[in-house]
Structure 1
Amino acid sequence: DFQMRTITLGSTSITLQLWDTAGQERFRCITEQYYRKADAILVVYDITCSASFTAVREWMDVQHQASFYECSAKTGANMEELMTHMA
């Protein structure tokens, strides 16, 4: 899935291109094409599924500077802060 999000920081507008790619190992070669030239990568997991959290370790090798945000796709909690940080 793909979505554009524009954020205004001071007097500067920044447009983020957000790509939702599959996290399963079988899709890894495809997703690597998406994040090869990315400025930021979000690695997400489901706190109700321990296997989801364990799988995050396989993706962390692409991270050079990592920040942790506890967010909720359901409620939107901390999503604005996360997007601002990425911008």
Structure 2
Amino acid sequence: MSQITVEHNPSEERLQELGVSSWPIWEKEISTFTIDFDETETAYVLEGEIIVTPVGGEPVRILPGDLVMFHEGLDSHWEVVKPLRKHYHYD
């Protein structure tokens, strides 16, 4: 199974079902850094662009309107290409 799952442009019903609008918002300027996930994060990108590369894996481009799951155990390198604003939630 992939360590990053991307759902492009999920329906409004799907977002409401998940309660996305009530999740906190995280913002990040253009930068590069690593994140290791010890629990699964679900994120909904509002603005910006990021390229997330799992250690030993292929880069994944994430854009506004993407609903993304970063699965537990993912070790990743992040490149914030355009300033990022996203809702996030930990399972």
Task: Tell me if both proteins adopt one fold, taking TM over 0.5 as the criterion.
Answer: no
Q: Which has the higher helix share?
A: 1
The TM-score bracket by the shorter chain reads: under 0.3
- Output the TM-score relative to the length of structure 2: 0.26
Structure in which a larger fraction of residues adopt strand = 2
TM-score by length of 1: 0.27
Q: Which has the higher contact order (CA 8 A, sep 6+)?
A: 2
